[in-house]
Structure 1
Amino acid sequence: MVCLLVSITLLHLVSLAMLFIATLEKSWWVWTESEITDLWHNCFYMNTTQTWVCAATTESDWLQSVQALMILSVVFSSVSLLVFLGQLFILSKGSLFYFTGLCQAFAAFTDFAACLIFTLHKKEILSNSRDLSKGRPGYCVIIAWLCVPLLLISAVLYVHLRKKQ
């Protein structure tokens, strides 16, 4: 039982860390090795100063939707972890972790919606006159897509997990 609890908690922490990275890092779309775009900034690497220079992205409704959904996903997953830790001490013997699983499922659905919106509306989100075929998705998009099944798996595990003494 202890091994199962540790495994579920580690899965939750890994998926939460991946959500944080996907939301905050600078690589949602890579134009070149010296120019990248994320949910918050467009960044250029200056060879002369050896630093990244970032400017705010141009706001669009689709971009704001992706930003809000990714933040909601992080919030739902964080709340789910806190609720799980609280339920370990509060729930009576034989009870199920329904609320924890529900919060984690909401995190999965909001992450899925954000990834889907970004994938389907990247032309409007990136709002560049450039050809999108000259760029490629960054690792943050891949991490965000990988979080969807991890969050769903942990949600199902929480729903089926029964507290034992």
Structure 2
Amino acid sequence: MVLLLVSVTVLHLVTLAMLFTAILEKSWWVLADTEITDLWYNCYHDNSTGNWLCAANSENDWLQSVQALMVLTVVFSSVSFLVFLGQLFTMSTGGLFYFTGLCQICAGLTDFAACLIFTFHRKEVLDEARESSTSHFGYCFILAWLSMPLLVVSGVLYVHLRKKQ
């Protein structure tokens, strides 16, 4: 039982770290390794100085919805972890972690919605058609997609996890 508890806790912390990385790093869309776009900034590589020059993304409805859903995902997952710790020490023996699991599943669903919006409305989110043969999704976008099934699986594990002594 202790091994299962530690495994679920580590899975939760790993997915939370993946979500923070996906939101805070600058690699949702990469254009020819000279331009990187994320949820907050659009950065260009200046060859003369070797630095990245970043400007805020122009606001549009699709971008704001992706931003809000990803922030909501982190909030749901963080609340889920805090509630889990609280329930772990205060819940009576035999209780189930329903609320923790529900929050984690909601985090997975909001992450899924944000990734779908970015996937299908990429041109609107990026505010212009910057498609080329060298442009591709960045690693933060892939991390966001990978964290979605992990969030749902850990949510289901929390729902079935029973507190024992």
Instruction: Give the whole-Å Cα distance in 2 for the aligned partners of 1:119 and 1:111.
Output: 12
Aligned-residue CA RMSD (Å) = 1.0
Q: Is the 8 A contact 2:23 2:39 kept in 1?
A: yes
Provide the residue aligned with 1:108 in structure 2: 108
Count the aligned residue pairs. 165
Identity among equivalent positions (%) equals 69
What do the CA deviations read for 1:23-67 (whole angstroms, capped 9, x no partner)? 111000000112110000110111222211100111110000000
Provide the residue aligned with 1:99 in structure 2: 99
Deviation at 1:130, TM superposition (A): 3.1
- AA paired with 1:21? T
What SS is found at the alignment partner of 2:114?
helix
More displaced 10-residue stretch of structure 1: 129-138 or 41-50: 129-138
Structure 1, unaligned stretches of length 5 or more? none
Alignment partner of 1:78 is 2:78 = yes
Q: How do residues 18-37 of structure 1 correspond to structure 2 at under 5 angstroms?
A: 18-37=18-37
What SS is found at the alignment partner of 1:55?
strand
Q: Is the 8 A contact 1:123 1:132 kept in 2?
A: no
Moved >2 Å (runs of 4+): 129-134
Provide the residue aligned with 2:49 in structure 1: 49
Instruction: Give the whole-Å Cα distance in 2 for the aligned partners of 1:68 and 1:37.
Output: 17
Q: Is the 8 A contact 2:12 2:151 kept in 1?
A: yes
TM superposition score normalised by structure 1:
0.97
Deviation at 1:2, TM superposition (A): 1.2
- AA paired with 1:119? T
Structure 2, unaligned stretches of length 5 or more? none
Alignment partner of 1:141 is 2:141 = yes
